[in-house]
Amino acid sequence: MGLENLQHNFLTGTLEGMVKWARASSSWAANFGLACCAIEMMAAGAANFDLARFGMEVFRASPRQADVMIVAGRVSQKMAPVLRQVYDQMMEPKWVISMGVCASTGGMFNNYAIVQGVDQIVPVDVYAPGCPPGPETLIHSILTLHQKIRLGEITRRTADGTGAGIHLDAATLRRPARVSLSAPAAS
Amino acid sequence: MSGVDGFFNFFKGFFVTGKLPFKPKVTVQYPEVKRPKPERFHGRHVLNRYEDGMEKCIGCELCAGVCPARCIYVRGADNPPDAPVSPGERYGFVYEINFLRCIHCDMCVEACPTEAITESKMFEWSFVSRQDAIYTKAELVVDDEGNPRQLPWEDWKPGDERNTSAWMRATSPAGVAAKEGQPLWSGELGYGVRPAQAGQSDPAAADHAAPFDKAVRELAGNALRGIGVEGSAPRGIENAPQKPKHQKGNKK
């Protein structure tokens, strides 16, 4: 983006505060309800708890228009690539709330079918515990995320230092050189 | 449908929208106001202590064994003879709960032989890292006043630490009818022995639940009465006043 070496002064500081305020107070959620947590997520959006008070009443079905992905429910191994694709399709800046124990660690489903923590796939910003978390717990995690957005640097990418504290750089991901099974070439 | 009818239907439709702002609001302003919790709500765990300050946990690991999510890790150790931690032979040397696995089923509370672990009413919390979610004994054991330790990422409101779960078990613990109404709870630091939960044998006395719970039960009872299954209404609502049927808006 070219903003990484920006020197802050009075004007950019004020602008950054405004941008962070705008991001925190209209963070739209991507619709990613997977299980019973999604029912509580809907309850949080309905009249009794009214997520519109925090500017989050629109749950976008299109990831391009969403800022926050609320992973609500257990993620199966088959769902994992889909979840990663939805996350990749979201525009920066983007945040992830892992809602419920199944999304956070697999919960009581410690088996081969369930991903043991969605932070193995996407970097998670806030974890909401509970099985399922009530609307209050979800709103608490959303407020924690808003606090995080307001305190963070706007030029920082969310991939650094979030999730399970795992940082993968390109060197770690590079595949080893292909070993030829044929006879070594004559030198 | 003529054009005049359509014109009036337009205002009729907006009349519904227009009258809603004057109706009472149902929204709970959560960060400032909390909804009242049901009596048997399961929230964050606490490790209790006796009135003399001794810990109730004896390190038997029954809670860890019964946990379906395998979220509890306990290691017992022998009590030091000069400064015992618990009145038993052993005490919980390490006690950790991973709250990103805990499903709050309360089975650890049921399994605990010394009422050491109970669940409070606090359920408004969130973590920004997985390390924060693993509570150690220092965070779970109640303080000298008997109050749970409040961590910065938790939202405690007055009343959340009261009425921790499992106290209703004190009445008729093994289903012995003769013990009904006798609290066999050994008391908690700062709170003492609470009275046994009412209504275990008398359903009419049980009707002091949280207001919204009561309303839901009344509604369910009315619905059941409406379809003519008189006998199967939920317990405790037999004497609830039946509201007259709402007739407005049904005119043809």
Express each pLDDT in A75-100 by its tens digit. 999 999 999 999 988 887 889 999 99
**Low-confidence stretches of chain B (pLDDT beneath 50):** 170, 172-173, 210-211, 228-252
Structure tokens that stand for A100 in this block: 């419920």
Query: For residues B93 and B109, what is the distance between their CA atoms, to the nearest angstrom?
Result: 19
Residues of chain B positioned with their CB less than 8 A from the CB of A40: none
A47 touches chain B (CB under 8 A): yes
A158 touches chain B (CB under 8 A): no
Question: Mean pLDDT score of chain A, rounded to an integer?
Answer: 80
pTM: 0.76
All residues at 6 or more sequence positions from B245 whose CB lies less than 8 Å from its CB, including other chains? none
C-beta neighbour count of B157 within 10 angstroms: 13
pLDDT of residue A187: 45
Tell whether the model's pLDDT for residue A61 goes beyond 50.
Answer: yes
Residues of chain B positioned with their CB less than 8 A from the CB of A141: 126
* A136-157 pLDDT, tens digit each: 999 999 999 998 888 876 655 5
A41, A125, A131: best to mutate for the B interface, most B CBs within 10 A:
A131
Contact across the interface for B125 and A129, Cβ inside 8 Å: yes
Contact across the interface for B155 and A140, Cβ inside 8 Å: yes
* A100-121 pLDDT, tens digit each: 999 999 888 999 999 998 988 8
- Nearest to B139, CA basis, from B125, A120, B229, B88: B125
∠ CA A62-A68-A69, nearest 5°, is 70
CA distance B198 to chain A (A): 27
Complex ipTM tops 0.95: no
C-beta neighbour count of A73 within 10 angstroms: 22
Phi first, then psi, for residue B77 (nearest 5°) are -145, 155
